[in-house]
Amino acid sequence: MGKTEMTDHAESNIGGRTASPPGGIDSHQIRLEVTVYNELRGQLASLKELSAEKKFDYEDSAGNKAARSHVYLLRRSKAAVEVIRKDSKAASIAYGKRVDAEAGDITTEIQTMIEVHTGPLQAIELRETERKARHEMRIAALRESAEQARTMWMELPLETMQDFLSASEDGKINPDAWEEYADEAQQARDETVAALRDAIDKRETYDGEQAELARLRAEADAREAQDAIERQQREEDARAEEAAQRAREDERRHADAEALADRAKWERELQAERDRSEREKAEAETAKAEAEARAANAEREGREQAERNATQAARKADQQRQEREADREHRATINRHARAALVTGGLSEHDAETAITLIAQQLVPNVRVNY
């Protein structure tokens, strides 16, 4: 069985440069070499030369036998390699386990030395992380305030924005307190102040516009109410004027009537005979025309009434006919059911029909069909 040798090198080449860490353990200083196959490698060269020189006639019996002998020699060499591999690997595995155990012990001792220093280092890192987080959260709050002012200026109360602007303008950025975040905090504060001023300007403009709209609406409502009052007054005045005009027309007609009556009386008295004849003729013609008109109206109304009566009578007759048909159908249905029950009870069709007919005609005392 061969052996595995481990040699140390003083330096190792890392990334194209020579590194030699002071006081530490460098993995690049350790190199493993495999020597168990050195003897076989010397024999391998001889086997290659021998195999290159051998020429076999595989079809010839002697040549075939010689080829098989050469193959057997090579297989024995291959088997020797496998034996050395298994023996060397078993030793290597045992050695590897010892290497792992010692590495674990060394790593544990080194980790103990590391933990002596990592505790304070991690505490410093945690304090630094928390310090940065506090500054970043405060800056984020400032920027969130600016964003709210830009996007929610209609929802936020004007007094709230004004108070926050006053507080933001009064608050100064202390470089000692903000440390390396002083410039970023100053920028965030300036953005917040600018956004608040812009939001307040927008809100004041909007509120002013809304107040102006409310004033205009109030004025429009007032004008509409006044217009309604004036319109109502004009309508009342118009109705009063119409009533007065009707009264004047009534008086004029009454005066005209009296004047006409007086003139007619004077004319009748002046030309009694002549006018009497003409008047009687005119009255007769008027009476005839009125009588004819009344007769025509009466005839038309009579025809219309007759048509209405006829329509109503026809509608009533049709309704009564439908009711009679429905009643007959209903009675026939009841009679069929009753007749069927009598037949089921043992009567013949003829006797059942006769019994139903007598009962329907109320010829059977104390027996009725409930329709």
Name residues whose C-beta falls within 8 Å of residue 255's C-beta, 6 or more positions apart in sequence. none
pLDDT the model gives residue 17: 36
Is the pLDDT at 269 greater than 80, yes or no? no
Is the pLDDT at 34 greater than 80, yes or no? no
Query: In this predicted model, what pLDDT tens digit does every residue of 48-83 receive, in sequence order?
Result: 888 888 888 888 888 888 888 888 888 888 888 888
Query: In this predicted model, what pLDDT tens digit does every residue of 177-193 receive, in sequence order?
Result: 778 888 888 888 888 88
Closest CA to 84 of 42, 32, 38, 46: 38
Residue 365 has φ and ψ, to the nearest 5°, of -60, 145
pLDDT the model gives residue 6: 31
Report d(CA 189, CA 76) in Å as an integer: 87
Query: In this predicted model, what pLDDT tens digit does every residue of 231-264 receive, in sequence order?
Result: 999 898 888 888 888 888 888 888 888 888 887 7
pLDDT the model gives residue 13: 32
- Residue range 25-38: mean pLDDT, rounded: 60
Query: Using CB atoms within 10 A of its CB, is residue 266 exposed (0-12), middle (13-18) or buried (19+)?
Result: exposed
Is the pLDDT at 22 greater than 70, yes or no? no
pLDDT the model gives residue 84: 81
Query: In this predicted model, what pLDDT tens digit does every residue of 82-118 receive, in sequence order?
Result: 888 888 788 778 878 888 888 888 888 877 777 777 8
Whether residue 180 contacts residue 223, with contact meaning beta carbons closer than 8 Å, is answered with no
Given the DSSP bridges, would you call strands 12-14 and 4-8 parallel, antiparallel or unpaired? unpaired
The band of 360, judged by pLDDT with boundaries at 50, 70 and 90, is: confident
The domain ranges of the chain are 30-126, 130-231, 328-360
- Residue range 188-202: mean pLDDT, rounded: 83
Report d(CA 196, CA 144) in Å as an integer: 12
The band of 171, judged by pLDDT with boundaries at 50, 70 and 90, is: low
- Residue range 194-207: mean pLDDT, rounded: 84
Report d(CA 267, CA 278) in Å as an integer: 12
Closest CA to 5 of 33, 28, 47: 33
- Residue range 34-59: mean pLDDT, rounded: 81
Q: What is the amino acid identity at position 211?
A: A
pLDDT the model gives residue 286: 86
Is the pLDDT at 18 greater than 60, yes or no? no
Closest CA to 146 of 129, 161, 167, 127: 161
Closest CA to 171 of 147, 201, 148, 141: 141
Closest CA to 88 of 149, 33, 17: 33
Whether residue 353 contacts residue 339, with contact meaning beta carbons closer than 8 Å, is answered with yes
Is the pLDDT at 4 greater than 60, yes or no? no
What is the share, in percent, of the chain residues with pLDDT greater than 90?
A: 0
Number of C-beta neighbours around residue 142 at 10 A: 24
Is the pLDDT at 194 greater than 70, yes or no? yes
Helix runs in the chain, H state only = 38-53, 61-151, 158-170, 175-178, 182-270, 272-345, 349-360
Global pTM?
0.32
pLDDT the model gives residue 170: 67
Is the pLDDT at 28 greater than 70, yes or no? no
Is the pLDDT at 218 greater than 60, yes or no? yes
Whether residue 84 contacts residue 36, with contact meaning beta carbons closer than 8 Å, is answered with yes
Report d(CA 364, CA 359) in Å as an integer: 5
| Mean of per-residue pLDDT scores for the chain | 79
Is the pLDDT at 32 greater than 60, yes or no? no
Number of C-beta neighbours around residue 136 at 10 A: 13
Look up tokens 């004036």; give the residue: 230
